[in-house]
Structure 1
Amino acid sequence: MANQFLWVIFPYLCMATFVVGHIFRYRNDQFGWTAKSSEFIEKKQLMIGSLLFHIGIMPVIAGHVVGLAVPKEWTQALGVSDHMYHMGAVWGGGFFGVVTFAGMFILTYRRFALKSVRKLSSASDLIVNSLLLFIVFIGMYSVIATSITQPEFDYRSSISIWFRSLLIFRPEGAYMIGVPLAFQLHVLSGFLIFAMWPFTRLVHVWSVPLNYVGRSYILYRRHREN
């Protein structure tokens, strides 16, 4: 029963919350759809941490998409052997994972350690920062520790198949039973952050100013003193 909840019910609850939560917030809280930047309080750490995080997270996300969504038979058909893929995942993914972790650590330290920034932060801000830091850390630990202690483990033969079974609504929770604990924690915390997403400042990632594209003018206003 516990496995059924963790690997079938919980993921679907998180995904449903992600979708419904975004719709609800967009309809009821468009003015709160913002990153609530604290740049005016402290800029240097924010700039460094944000830069490192964004440089690292894009390749990390791309690696997750390939690793989870693309069957290994497809990569093998393209001439990528399991050893080549593993080396790319460990070294390439490890490098960008470290960059992402460094950026997230700076951002989290800044939010907790700087009194002025902490006062401006909500409880959800502190929780999200901490959870993201944990997700990145446990993801790196999973790859490094497993490659040393369980080199025979292949997440593409377990986690990836389970994940794709969720996407086609034919969940196979049994694939996750023998997965190392660190990977399980990484997966569960990842789904949890998706469930929290609509109710935090993370929604700002969808705020692309498309209305400015194609404008032939910019309106400036000058403040006149009385």
Structure 2
Amino acid sequence: MSTPELFLWGALPYMVLIFCVTATIWRYVTNPFSWTSKSSEMLEKRMLKWGSLLFHIGIFAVICGHIAGLIVPVEFYRWIGLSDEGYHLIAIAGGLPAGIIAFAGGVILLVRRYVATKVRATSSTGDWIALVMLLVVIITGILATSANAVNHTGFDYRTTINPWLRGLMVFQPDPTLMQTVPMNFKVHILLSFVLYCVFPFTRLVHMLSMPLGYLKRSYVLYRRRDGSVYPDQKPNKERAM
């Protein structure tokens, strides 16, 4: 195995992780008020409703699929009696539609950001980069999975990428496991590394936030100028009479 390959699949993942974590913490400590999804719902709602809905549903399914395919050992599926053919059929039948749905939602959000004048005027460079990188990572994943299924290459990421990733998680990387991985899967992984490096500087950081404070926060009461609570209560003086 060449030195560049050893670097890409042995050292680079840790470098990306350290950079992503450090930059994210740095942003939170130095500029906490920028830690927001910066909603633009009031500027345009129709395209946002469909784009956001499709993207979040699709990306949630994609993440679940990645966990099932890249974290769970292949031995587990064989232990429960699921054949390799059955697993791949389920992965393709569920994974490809999920990726397409997420991609469609992302495209709608990207088009919205361009055609809606007010949204475009309030968009930052980070907003554009985040959306474009998400779409690039998603489409390369769809193409890699599709090509593997159509060409019947027999490549099984559960015996290559899966143990490689789990080895990274326990600090026992084995870059040689990536030698037989098709190039389109490698490109998809490397582009995801770029996305992780971009992550701390965009609105994507909001996915790390859990607004648990809202669970115990008091209700907000809106009052008219006459003192009544919106929308139905009458002014205090009228109630007294």
Q: If the length of structure 2 is used for normalisation, what is the TM-score?
A: 0.87
Distance 1:45 1:185 in 2: 31
- Whichever residue aligns with residue 184 of structure 1, its letter is K
Distance 2:31 2:112 in 1: 27
Residue number in structure 1 paired with 2:51: 49
Distance 2:173 2:113 in 1: 38
Deviation at 1:132, TM superposition (A): 0.3
Residue number in structure 2 paired with 1:146: 148
Distance 2:207 2:97 in 1: 24
Aligned pairs for 1:95-114 (under 5 A) are 95-114=97-116
Aligned pairs for 1:13-52 (under 5 A) are 13-52=15-54
Residue number in structure 1 paired with 2:229: none
Of the three residues 54, 59, 62, the one matched with 1:60 is 62
* SS in structure 2 at match of 1:6: helix
Residue number in structure 1 paired with 2:215: 213
- Whichever residue aligns with residue 31 of structure 2, its letter is D
Residue number in structure 1 paired with 2:233: none
The structure that has the greater radius of gyration is 2
The answer (yes or no) to whether the contact 1:69–1:164 under 8 Å persists in 2 is yes
- Whichever residue aligns with residue 33 of structure 1, its letter is W
Does the alignment pair 1:177 with 2:179? yes
Deviation at 1:114, TM superposition (A): 3.3
Q: If the length of structure 1 is used for normalisation, what is the TM-score?
A: 0.93
Deviation at 1:195, TM superposition (A): 2.1
Give the direction of change, closer, same or farther, for the CA distance of 1:114–1:2 in structure 2 (3 Å limit). Answer: farther
Report Cα offsets for 1:127-169 as digits up to 9, x if no partner: 1101100111111111111112243111111111111111111
Report Cα offsets for 1:87-119 as digits up to 9, x if no partner: 011111111111111111111122234343222
Q: Relative to structure 2, which stretch is displaced further, 85-94 or 186-195?
A: 186-195
Distance 1:17 1:184 in 2: 21
The answer (yes or no) to whether the contact 1:18–1:197 under 8 Å persists in 2 is yes
Q: Relative to structure 2, which stretch is displaced further, 163-172 or 3-12?
A: 3-12
* SS in structure 1 at match of 2:99: helix
Structure with larger RCO (C-alpha < 8 A, sep 6+): 1
Deviation at 1:223, TM superposition (A): 7.3
Q: Relative to structure 2, which stretch is displaced further, 106-115 or 16-25?
A: 106-115
Distance 2:84 2:60 in 1: 23
Residue number in structure 2 paired with 1:161: 163
| Structure 1: gaps (5+ residues) | none
Residue number in structure 2 paired with 1:69: 71
Distance 2:138 2:149 in 1: 17
